[in-house]
Amino acid sequence: MKRYILLFLLFLSFSVYAQNTINNYKYVVVPEKFSFLKQNDQYGLNSLTKALLAEKGFTVYLDNNELPSEIANNKCQALNAEVLEKSSMFTTSLTLLLKDCQGNIVFKTKEGKSREKEYRVSYNLALRDAFTSLDAVQYAYNGKNNEQQVQPTVAATTTITTANTPAKTAIAPPQATASMVSAKTVQMQPNQPAGTLYAQVIANGYQLIDTTPKIVLTLLKTSVQDYFIANNGTSNGIVLKKNNEWFFEYYQDGKLTSEKLMVKF
């Protein structure tokens, strides 16, 4: 009994420490390619990491994007995301690390696992499983600037002007909601089957609109054609094209659900 109490207190203290630590950071930078992959954003894994961190409340950038001056002038303002793979013949295992500018691990998730055979699906599910470790932390940025962190070195002859240069604001991946959309923005077409969704172009992909009009799904582009990271406001999943038909696939209560979509692009 004492052993279980000790383990519980240890877990509780770790959760409080992790929450207090990551709450000092507003930004996370995600690399465009993880070390165990061969291509940039292979299997959409980097885009998915960015989207999942944004869902937790972080302001997230890919390292191939132009960073705002707050981060560019002081890399210690941001955490760096890293995903590690430890897979076997039958299981894909992924762990997310959040590191500070000196390479110290600020937060480490559990090993997310999947037994799916197809790489894209397996990596996707394993990463989502790893991210459940962040659910217990309840991240909320506290506004601290981490004054103890290393400040960038500036040469004496260099002049940095910031007074009239507004910092660029990060744009987090859009979240699907039941928001109403102006009817003027929806290109409805006559003689379409009931239930048809209309695709509107947004910054990172599309939002699918019904005839109400209402946002039903938000799709984020990946590096693979006809494959999107999807969110309907309550569930995260993927939208993909199979045999010239569109499907929204996600997990609900531990079971894979596949919904056929009629989409007009």
CA angle 258, 92, 251 (to 5 degrees): 20
| Residue 227 near residue 249 (C-beta atoms within 8 A) | no
What does the pLDDT look like over 129-153, one tens digit per residue? 999 988 877 788 887 654 444 443 3
Q: How many CB atoms lie within 10 A of CB 77?
A: 20
Residue with the larger pLDDT of the pair 181 and 117? 117
Give the pLDDT band of residue 225 (cuts 50, 70, 90). Answer: confident
Residue 56 lies in a domain: yes
- The answer on 123 and 21 residing in a single domain is yes
Residue 175 pLDDT greater than 50, yes or no: no
- The answer on 199 and 130 residing in a single domain is no
How far is 97 from 58, CA to CA, in rounded Å?
A: 14
Contacts 24+ apart (CB under 8 A), 98-101: 98/22, 98/28, 100/76, 100/149, 101/75, 101/76, 101/149, 101/150
| Residue 180 near residue 63 (C-beta atoms within 8 A) | no
Query: What would the two tokens of residue 211 be?
Result: 């005839």
Token pair 């995600």 in the structure block, residue: 30
- The answer on 104 and 16 residing in a single domain is yes
Do you find a cis peptide bond into 173, omega within 30 degrees of 0?
no
- The answer on 199 and 129 residing in a single domain is no
User: Which residues are CB-contacts of 206 (< 8 A; sequence separation ≥ 6)?
Assistant: 199, 200, 218, 219, 228, 265
Residue 154 lies in a domain: no
Q: Of 105, 136, 167, which residue constitutes the final position of a domain?
A: 136
User: What is the per-residue pLDDT for 1?
Assistant: 54
Residue with the larger pLDDT of the pair 219 and 160? 219
Q: Of 110, 136, 162, which residue constitutes the final position of a domain?
A: 136
How far is 150 from 127, CA to CA, in rounded Å?
A: 31
Domain carrying residue 78: 2-136
Percent of the chain with pLDDT over 90: 31
Residue 159 pLDDT greater than 70, yes or no: no
Residue 62 pLDDT greater than 80, yes or no: yes
Residue 151 lies in a domain: no
- The answer on 202 and 103 residing in a single domain is no
Residue 158 lies in a domain: no
Residue 115 lies in a domain: yes
Structure pTM? 0.52
Q: What's the chain's average pLDDT?
A: 77
Residue 127 pLDDT greater than 90, yes or no: yes
User: What is the per-residue pLDDT for 188?
Assistant: 53
Closest to 209 (Cα-Cα) out of 259, 172, 264: 264
Residue 38 pLDDT greater than 80, yes or no: yes
Residue with the larger pLDDT of the pair 67 and 240? 240
Residue 158 pLDDT greater than 50, yes or no: no
What does the pLDDT look like over 200-217, one tens digit per residue? 888 788 888 888 778 889
- The answer on 9 and 120 residing in a single domain is yes
User: What is the per-residue pLDDT for 166?
Assistant: 45
| Residue 22 near residue 139 (C-beta atoms within 8 A) | yes
- The answer on 96 and 6 residing in a single domain is yes
| SS3 state at 246 | strand
Q: Of 107, 136, 165, which residue constitutes the final position of a domain?
A: 136
Give the pLDDT band of residue 178 (cuts 50, 70, 90). Answer: very low
| Count of domains forming the chain | 2
Residue 96 pLDDT greater than 90, yes or no: yes
- The answer on 120 and 30 residing in a single domain is yes
- The answer on 6 and 116 residing in a single domain is yes
- Torsion angle (degrees, nearest 10) of CA 212, 213, 218, 223: 120
Give the pLDDT band of residue 2 (cuts 50, 70, 90). Answer: low
- The answer on 194 and 122 residing in a single domain is no
User: What is the per-residue pLDDT for 162?
Assistant: 35
- The answer on 12 and 101 residing in a single domain is yes
CATH number of the CATH domain containing 74: 3.40.50
- In the Cβ-directed half-sphere of 186, how many Cα atoms lie within 13 Å? 21
Residue 119 lies in a domain: yes
Residue 39 lies in a domain: yes
Residue 113 lies in a domain: yes
- The answer on 187 and 83 residing in a single domain is no
Q: How many CB atoms lie within 10 A of CB 208?
A: 27
